[in-house]
Amino acid sequence: MEEIEVGPGKLLVKEGDRSGAAFLIAGGRVEVFRAVNGSKHRLAVLGPGEIAGEMGLLDNAPRSACIATMEPTRLVMISPDLVARQMKASPPLVRFVLRSLIRTLRSINGIPAPASDPMLDGDPIVSERTYKLLRRETYPAGRVIFRRGDEGHYAYLVQSGLVEVWKETLEDEVQVLAQVGPGGVFGEMALLRNANRAASVTAVEHTVCEVIPRHRFDELLRMAPTLIRQLVLTYIRRIETGL
C-alpha cells in the first residue's frame, strides 16, 4: 500500500464523486463534512489509526461526503481491490452486519443508502457450517420477542414471517421504525456492544428465526481480516457517539 504526505486544507474526496481509494490515517487529522444549504456541516474528525473514504467502496455508492485534511497528514492508500478481497475473505454474517452498520450511519447523517450492493447481494447471511451452531425459535403473531431496555445477548435471522421494530414515544404512541422479513437480521447491535435494547420487536405474523448468540459472532469476527474487524469496531464507536 502506498503512503503519501498531504498538506493542510487538501480536499481528498468530493461529495457525489465515484468512490475510489480509501485512506488509512498514519498521522495528522482529516474532517468529514457535507455541504448543506451552502454551509459546511461537519460529520466527523478522524485521526491516526482511523480509516476515511471506505464507505462507498463497501456499499458501491458515490461519495456521500467530502474529506479534507486539517493539518499536515500522512495517508496510506487502500485500493478498492484490497477492500473487495478482504470483504470476500470475511464470514457472510460479518459482511451483513457491516452493511447494516453502514446503513445505520448513513441514516444518522441523513444520507440515502444505495438500493443494492453487488459486493454482498446473493450471499447467504450465515454459512451452512454456522447454521449448525444456531438455535431455531418460533414466535406466534403478536409475540413480543424483546422490549426496549432489555439486556441484549442475541441477534435474530428471520427465516420466515415478519417482525416489526418499534418504540413508544413520549406521548405513549407506538412509532414503527422498521419491518424485517425473510433473510433480514434484527437485534444485531447486541452482537457488538454491551448495551440494552434500543427498541422493541414484535412478530407481526407467525415467524421463525435463527438465534445468533454474541459469542458465536465473536468467533466469526475473529476470522475476518484485520481491516474488516477494524471497520466494524469503528462504526460501532461512531454510532454510539452519533457521528
Three-state helix/strand/coil letters over 113-125: CCCCCCCCCCCCC
Hey, what CATH class is 1-84 in? mainly beta
Q: Residue 26 burial by CB count (10 A; 0-12/13-18/19+): exposed, middle or buried?
A: middle
Tell me the CATH architecture of domain 89-243.
Sandwich (2.60)
- At 218-227, the pLDDT tens digits run 888 899 999 8
Q: Residue 167 burial by CB count (10 A; 0-12/13-18/19+): exposed, middle or buried?
A: middle
- What are the residues facing 97 on neighbouring strands? none
Is it true that 1-84 and 89-243 share their CATH fold? Answer: yes
pTM above 0.95, yes or no: no
- At 134-174, the pLDDT tens digits run 789 999 999 999 999 999 889 898 999 999 999 988 888 88
* Residue 84 CA to its chain's centroid (Å): 16
Please state, in angstroms and rounded to a whole number, the distance separating the CA atoms of residues 129 and 133: 7
List all residues 6 or more positions away from 186 whose beta carbon is below 8 Å from its beta carbon: 155, 156, 158, 163, 165, 178, 180, 201
**Running DSSP on this structure, what letter comes out for residue 61?**
-
Residue 154: name the closest of 197, 90, 98 by CA. Answer: 197
Residue 69: name the closest of 27, 107, 130, 124 by CA. Answer: 27
Please state, in angstroms and rounded to a whole number, the distance separating the CA atoms of residues 192 and 140: 28
Residue 209: pLDDT band (50, 70, 90) is very high
Domain spans of the chain, in order of start? 1-84, 89-243
What would the grid cell of residue 164 be?
Answer: 416489526
More confident residue, 120 or 73: 73
